[in-house]
Structures are given as structure tokens and as C-alpha cells.
Amino acid sequence: VGEDSAEFILSKQKISSWVYFTAILGSVLFILNVAWIDNSTGFGKPFVDAVSELSDSKEVVMLILILIFAIFHSGLASLRDTGEQLIGERAYRVLFAGTSLPLAVSTVVYFINHRYDGVQLWELKNAFGIHEFVWLSNFISFLFLYPSTFNLLEVAAVDKPKMHLWETGIMRITRHPQLVGQVIWCLAHTIWIGNSVAVAASVGLIGHHLFGAWNGDRRLAVRHGEAFEVVKKRTSIIPFAAILDGRQKLPKDYYKEFIRLPYLSITVLTLGAYFAHPLMQAASFRLHW
């Protein structure tokens, strides 16, 4: 009863829609830089400085930043039905993204800049195979983390945003791929960094995503009713659990659900993000957040 995730049919794409998407993306990045990131004009540094004054502990500040992001992100998600009725789907998506994106940037930049400031709990970077294990874990985590790339035009509100009930592809493995991806990412980074700041960030992020999984099921049940209950019965939160206990019946050609442009795009972007780590770190350091 659910939808086919990661479906991308070239014949259904409109050049005008993707031109519009490119223009919106460029505009959003420009506004984000001026209004939040640029220290001479934006509010990002004063925001991080204000939160940092609440505690001398980098671990506590890290958790507060995650908590603030979680409150606004999950709060606005919970109010989506009401908000869309009041101002429309596209306007509410702009409000949601315009609030969540700056807070996410602040949290990520703070983590990058202070990830080695905590108490060192263990040191495994030179252990045999640990680099390869962490690299592979991070790569896999991104395949779970970004199912939103299935509908970039909706993310940018070019197409009218919908609350989808996915049932194919990665949803056969887990009903909440972002939760699973976040857990894998956190464990990998915590093992690699091995200090108290990494532990604090992981606790905060995993806690937020656990709530998000519960809240997401609740919202889908409200929006889709019996259809969601059907999908819920034949999927699982724990990866592969529904497949192993026979509730999820894989079609013979299930692998074709992964040979699609969105998954290829995630793979390319994940590899690009790995090689761009030095650039990301340098950009974060220049902000002095």
C-alpha cells in the first residue's frame, strides 16, 4: 500500500523545475551565508557565543545546541498538519527549512571546531583496520541518512511537499533509515575520535533521532491511518528484522530498487564529502564558533 521510494523517471522530469530548483538552492545558500554564516553580517556567531556562555563545558554546550535544534526541528514537524492548513504546504516547508537549516549549520560547525576539546577516553586511530572500519561505516551511514534526496524538488518546495508512506528500497531494511544512519555515523565517529565531546554529540543526536522515529510513526498513523498500520506490520525499525522474521517479503528483483539515480547520487555525494573533509574543517575553523 506504500509508495515506491527513490523512483526517478526521466520522462516525467521538467527542465523548468530543475532550473527553478537551482535558482532556489543558490538563493537559499546566499541568504544563509549573509544572514547566519558570515561573521560580519550573520547571527550565527552571536547565537553560538550566547549558548557557549551557558557553560564552560564543551560537552554541555554541544548537547544544548543539539537540544535547541531538536526542539525546533521536531516541534515544527509535529505542527506540520496544522501549519500546512494555515499557510499551505510550500510556505510551511520554507518556514521549516528556514528555521532548521541555520541551527543545523551551527551545531555541525561547533562539533567540527570542538570535537577534540573533550577528555580523551580512548585512542584507537592507529589500531589495525580501524580506519577502514570507520570509513566503511560512515559510507554505509549516508546511504541510510538521506532518504530526503528521493524528492529534492519537494525539499525545495518546487513541487508541493507531501508526507510520503514509503515501502520499497531501503524501507524494506528499516522503516526509519535516518535513525539507523545516524546511529552508525555516531558510533563510527565516536570510535574514531574517542573523547567526551564525541560521546556527548552522539548521545544527543541518537536521542533526537529515537524521538524522531516515534514521532514519525505517530504522524504517519495520523496522516495515513490503516495504510500505515499495514506498512508498519511488514517493516521494522531494527535493520533486517522484518525480513528475517518473514514479515517483509522480498520480490525476486528487489535489488533493482537500489539501482536508481537517487542512490547513485548519494554514493557520489558521500565520496565527495569524504574527500572534502579538509575543506569543511578549514571553513569551520575560519568562523571561530
pLDDT in the model for residue 1: 83
pLDDT band at 120 (very low <50, low <70, confident <90, very high): very high
pLDDT at position 266 over 70: yes
The tally of domains found in the chain comes to: 1
Asked if residues 73 and 82 have their Cβ atoms less than 8 Å apart, the reply is no
Q: What is the pLDDT of residue 250?
A: 92
Q: pLDDT for 126-164, tens place per residue?
A: 999 999 999 999 999 998 987 656 788 898 889 999 889
| Residue 3 falls inside a structural domain | no
Q: How far apart are the first and last CA of the chain?
A: 47
**Has residue 229 been placed in a domain?**
yes
pLDDT (mean) for 22-27: 94
Specify the pLDDT at position 147.
Answer: 65
Within-domain flag for 162: yes
Tell me whether residue 164 is in a domain: yes
Tell me the average pLDDT across 82-109: 95
Burial class (CB in 10 A: 0-12, 13-18, 19+), 217: middle
Domain coverage including residue 163: 10-287
Residue 5 domain-assigned (yes or no): no
Mean pLDDT, residues 255-282 taken together: 90
Q: How far apart are CA 36 and CA 48, in angstroms?
A: 11
Q: What is the pLDDT of residue 149?
A: 60
Q: Does any domain span residue 1?
A: no
For the chain, how are helix, strand and coil distributed in percent, rounded to 5? 70, 0, 25
Tell whether the torsion through CA atoms of 266, 205, 4 and 90 is positive or negative.
Answer: negative
Picking from 107, 154, 141, 178, the residue whose alpha carbon sits closest to that of residue 270 is 141
Q: Determine the average pLDDT of the residues in 202-208.
A: 98
Q: Is the pLDDT of residue 252 over 80?
A: yes
